[in-house]
Every structure is written in structure tokens, then in C-alpha cells.
Structure 1
Amino acid sequence: MPLIKQIFVVFFICLLGNFLSECIPLPIPNSIMAMVLMLGLLALRWLRADSIRQVVDFLQKNMVFFFIPSGVSLLEHYELLRDNLAAILVICVVSMLATYGAAAGVVWLVLRIMKKGGETQ
């Protein structure tokens, strides 16, 4: 598929995700809705991964550009961040530890299930 068509497909799915997130009364972000749509289209095989590979690879390689607006917003609110630095650091440390703990628990559970499955065979 030509590059222009690939870009059109990806951005159309993003636009559709935006529209659906506005129509659905749940607080689902536009980007999450678009990713769910993309997953659904790929899972149903209505869209082939090879047909959008070029544009997806390009966007993935240049992902850093998508974080520039967030970084600029952080700099615009420097005083607010400085005033609440201790609370932000505590939240970051606690959420990091919770994420590590959850990941370790899932790995432990999967290994236990795999080990148990290996014994029965």
C-alpha cells in the first residue's frame, strides 16, 4: 500500500477514535479508543499489519517528537511543580514500586502456571 494511503488509514482510525470517545459517555481518551479500534481491526483481519507497516515504523522511530508538547507544558508550569515536588516524588516512587510489584507478581504467577502445566503433561 502506498505511503499516503497508509497515513490516511492510520489518521482515519485516530479520527474515528476521537469521534467515538466523544460519543461514548465514558471518560475514555481518544488515543486509547483509537488503539482499541486498531487492535480490533487487526484482530478481525479487516486490516493487515503489512499494509500499514511503513508509516507505523516511521512513527515509532520518531516517537520522541510526540513528547515535545508535554515537555513544554512541564516547563510552563515549573512553579507549580516546584511547589509540589515532594508530593510528586512520593507519588512517583510509590507508583514505581507498585508497578514493579505487580509485574513481579504476574511473572511469578505465569511461571508457577507454566511449571504446573509442565508437570501434568
Structure 2
Amino acid sequence: MKYLKQLMIILTAYFIGVLLQTIFKLPIPGTVLGLIILFLALYSGIVKIEMIEDICDVLISHMSFLFIPAGVGLMTSFGLLKGKIIAFSVIILISTLVVWIVTAHVVKFLRKVCAR
């Protein structure tokens, strides 16, 4: 029952994000809005880390299993990717570098803001 309550907190944030995205037709995915809402709830103290800690451990321990549908979807679409491997490799490399750089700057900014 404890896991169900904790999962409901996470799913509530997710559904609020999806609802906001649908109602306001925002260009940000509802899942990302849900993560932002959950982050803000944790940051403000509305949700305490202890309230979702156990289910988060369970989800993280099963993370590789949760990526199977994406991997199967990629395998079934491999015919579309054939012959374009270099273009996709370049795109993956560039996007990975962009994510690293943006993440580094966000972490640097947050450390500066939180140190105050």
C-alpha cells in the first residue's frame, strides 16, 4: 500500500502536467511539465523526499526494463534508418554534446543560486 501511495504522488504530478499541456496547448510535453511540477513540489516542501523515496528506488532499479519498448520500436524501424547511419550518428553526437553543455551550465547556475 505504501508503494501505491507513493506512485500516486508521482502520477498526480504527471497527470497535472499532461492536463496543463492539453488545456493550454503548450509546446512542452506533458511528461516534462509533470517532472517540473514534481520538482517544484519537492523544492517547496509540499512533497517530502521520504514521501516518494521507496517507489523511486523501485523505478530506478527497473529502469533498464522500462527502456525495452523504445528499443523494440527502434529495432522495428531499422529499415528506415538503413543507409542514413552517418547522418544519425552525427545528430546523436551533436545533440549529446549540447545536452552535456547545457546540463553543465544549469548545474553551475543552480549551485550558485543554492549557495546563497
Question: TM-score, normalising length from structure 2?
Answer: 0.77
Q: Could you say what secondary structure the match of 1:28 adopts?
A: coil
Q: Could you say what secondary structure the match of 1:42 adopts?
A: helix
User: Residues of 1 paired with 2:39 and 2:71: CA distance?
Assistant: 29
Change (3 A) 1:34 1:97: closer
Alpha-carbon deviation of 1:82?
1.0
Match of 2:69 in 1: 69
User: Residues of 1 paired with 2:98 and 2:2: CA distance?
Assistant: 44
Match of 2:30 in 1: 30
Aligned letter for 2:22?
E
| Over 6 Å off, 4+ runs | none
Alpha-carbon deviation of 1:76?
1.1
Alpha-carbon deviation of 1:47?
0.8
- Work out the number of aligned pairs and report it: 106
Q: Cα RMSD (Å) of the superposition?
A: 2.3
Q: Percent identity?
A: 26
Aligned letter for 2:59?
L
Match of 2:95 in 1: 95
Question: TM-score, normalising length from structure 1?
Answer: 0.74
Is 2:25 the partner of 1:4?
no
